Amino acid sequence: MILMKDIYKTYANGVTALNGISVDIKQGEFVYIVGPSGAGKSTFIKLMYREVKPTQGTIIINEIDMSEIKERKVPYLRRDIGVIFQDFKLLPKLSVYENIAFALEVIEESPRNIRKRVMDVLEIVGLKNKARFIPDELSGGEQQRVSIARAIVNHPKIVIADEPTGNLDPDTSWGIMKTFEEINARGTTIIMATHSKEIVNTIKKRVIAIEDGLIVRDQNRGEYGYEI
Amino acid sequence: MNTAMKFRTLTRHLREGCKNIIRNGWMTIASVGAVTTTLILVAAFLALVLNLNQMANNIENDVEIKVLIDQTADEEQITDLGDNIKALSGIDTVQFSSKDDELVGLIESMGEEGEAWQLYEQDNPLSHAYAVKAQNPADTERIAKDILGMDNVQDVNYGRDYVEGLFQFNDYARTIGLAIIIGLVFTAIFLISNTIKITIMARSREIGIQKLVGATNGFIRWPFFIEGMLLGILGSLIPIGAILGGYYYLVNNLGVLDNYSFVTLLPYNPFAWQLSLIILAIGVLIGIWGSVMSVRKFLKV
């Protein structure tokens, strides 16, 4: 499903984020990415939906070689990947409902299905009563839940989350984790960068620890922590 | 887009384009203002140049050569002369005018002062004449010279310097008018695309987000296309109103100049409507052009 081989990434400003990373994530896996801030977690995640291109190395996602994909095919690839961004990336002038519906409009879903599915995910993230609000009227945690709703609304094969529980209170966090487990149980691959020791140690999954641009640990049913 | 767009997606883009007009508030007003200002200028210049052109044509078509016939020529010689003139190339009409017709024409053209000439009705000092028109007014000079060389021609009269100067002036006026209009249209496009660019720069982040959520360039571009079109339409409303109202006023108040037969404005109907349509088309074109051009650079995410 996701195959990376000897990935190096150096940004234009000379900062090296990844220093030779290889990883193989199978369909239906649930993977935590842990590591200190600035270790390369975000770069690692951005490679998967091609917000960032590697300086060197091969990435294959859904059997598509990302180095060979044509620019105009990229949107279609992204439709199979639901991303929960660290900074949410909500469209500021659209309502909660419209933000989530946007992911379905781009795949030309019928208005009826759009309505039904948006209402369904709003129910899941508990924002049904705020459908008409615009992002600025929501708290950080609520915006994060909108971002989550948008990422899962079109049933993508992969859900990538960059600290999805970072702004949430414990109750909501566990609610979101429950949702992730449910969609994971239906066969969706989940990749989640997190700093939450509690979550990683409670809901035991595969843990990939990144430090200084290298994978320092890759362990099934691992514990939180990135010290070697 | 590599697949045909579904109809409901088109309606989605239409809805989204309309909403953007409202969402952008002041920037919409700024863009519409830029379109309006420039279109009014373009409309005024177009009306001026097209009317000048029309007047120039009127004057050109009024240019005729008056061939004064020798007093000594008999009827047969006069007819021969007429045939000879008709045989020249590029002749449109040859109209005989007897000396009595000439006198009547002279008296009429001078109004009240012309009454003095009535004394000459018994003993007319004028000559018979031919009024000659060239098919192409620019040939007037050549034809006049040819006729002057013919027998029984006393003189040829066509306002030599005046006509040459006029043709040259008309050519200049047309060229300069066209240049100014083209310049104005490009200024308008530049102004508008810049204004729209500002609104889009504010939205570059949104465009980036849309791309990350899986929108194709076409999907993102469509609402901008619709929005540009709407900006153009909105921006041309006031100029069209100004054309329809202003031209109506002009046509009705320049009637005073009826004495000068060449100063006739193009008729309100259809000219004002045609001009409005042209302005609407220019407005829509620059709106779309400005909008789509300025979104282009933000699509590379």
Bin A163: left if φ > 0, else alpha if -120 < ψ < 50, else beta. left
pLDDT band at B1 (very low <50, low <70, confident <90, very high): very low
Tell which of B8, B13, B20, B212 to mutate to test the A interface (max A CBs under 10 Å).
B212
Q: Cβ contacts (< 8 Å) between B210 and chain A: which residues? A: 91, 102, 106
- What's B123's DSSP letter? S
- pLDDT digit string (tens) for A75-119? 988 999 999 998 899 999 899 999 999 999 999 888 899 999 999
Average pLDDT, chain A: 90
User: Quick check: B214 and A75 in contact, CB under 8 A?
Assistant: yes
Separation CA B64–CA B67 (nearest Å): 10
Q: Which has more confidence, B162 or B258?
A: B162
User: In the prediction, which pLDDT does B169 show?
Assistant: 76
Q: How many CB pairs under 8 A join A and B?
A: 53
- pLDDT digit string (tens) for A149-202? 999 999 999 999 998 888 788 888 888 898 899 899 989 999 999 998 999 999
User: In the prediction, which pLDDT does B10 show?
Assistant: 86
Mean pLDDT of B51-69: 77
User: In the prediction, which pLDDT does B162 show?
Assistant: 66
- Using CA coordinates, name the residue in chain A closest to B222: A106
DSSP string, A171-208: HHHHHHHHHHHHHHHTT-EEEEE---HHHHHHS--EEE
Residues 6+ apart with CB under 8 A from A59: A2, A3, A4, A5, A7, A47, A48, A65, A66, A67
Q: Cβ contacts (< 8 Å) between B219 and chain A: which residues? A: 75, 106
Confirm or reject contact between A221 and chain B (CB < 8 A): no
Q: Cβ contacts (< 8 Å) between A75 and chain B: which residues? A: 211, 214-217, 219
A171 vs chain B: nearest CA distance in angstroms? 28
- In chain B, DSSP finds a helix count (H) and a strand count (E) of 9, 4
- Tokens 């992204």 appear where? A78
DSSP string, A37-82: TTSSHHHHHHHHTTSS--SEEEEEETTEETTT--GGGHHHHHTTEE
User: Quick check: B27 and B197 in contact, CB under 8 A?
Assistant: no
- pLDDT digit string (tens) for A199-219? 999 999 999 999 999 999 998
Mean pLDDT of B270-297: 85
CB atoms B2 and A89 under 8 Å: no
How large a percentage of chain B has pLDDT more than 90? Answer: 6
User: Minimal CA–CA distance to B106: which of B98, B96, B114?
Assistant: B114
Separation CA A141–CA A175 (nearest Å): 12
pLDDT band at B256 (very low <50, low <70, confident <90, very high): low
CB atoms A108 and B23 under 8 Å: no
Mean pLDDT of A59-71: 87
CB atoms A108 and B8 under 8 Å: yes
CB atoms B212 and A51 under 8 Å: yes
- pLDDT digit string (tens) for B146-159? 887 887 888 887 76
How large a percentage of chain B has pLDDT more than 70? Answer: 87
Question: Which range in B74-88, B102-116, B207-221, B247-261 is most confidently predicted, on average pLDDT?
Answer: B207-221
Confirm or reject contact between A79 and chain B (CB < 8 A): yes
What ipTM was assigned to the predicted interfaces of this complex? 0.87
Of A83, A103, A108, the CB nearest to B6: A108
CB atoms A106 and B12 under 8 Å: no
- What's B117's DSSP letter? G
Residues 6+ apart with CB under 8 A from B271: B50, B247, B265
Q: Cβ contacts (< 8 Å) between B216 and chain A: which residues? A: 72, 75-76, 106
> Which of B25-29, B220-224, B228-232 bottoms out in mean pLDDT, i.e. has the lowest?
B25-29
- Tokens 């994060």 appear where? A144
Separation CA A149–CA A119 (nearest Å): 10
Confirm or reject contact between B212 and chain A (CB < 8 A): yes
Confirm or reject contact between B215 and chain A (CB < 8 A): yes
Separation CA A165–CA A197 (nearest Å): 12
- What's A228's DSSP letter? -
CB atoms B214 and A76 under 8 Å: yes
> Residue B107 above 50 pLDDT?
yes
Q: Which has more confidence, A82 or B65?
A: A82
Cα B239 to its chain centre, rounded Å, is: 17
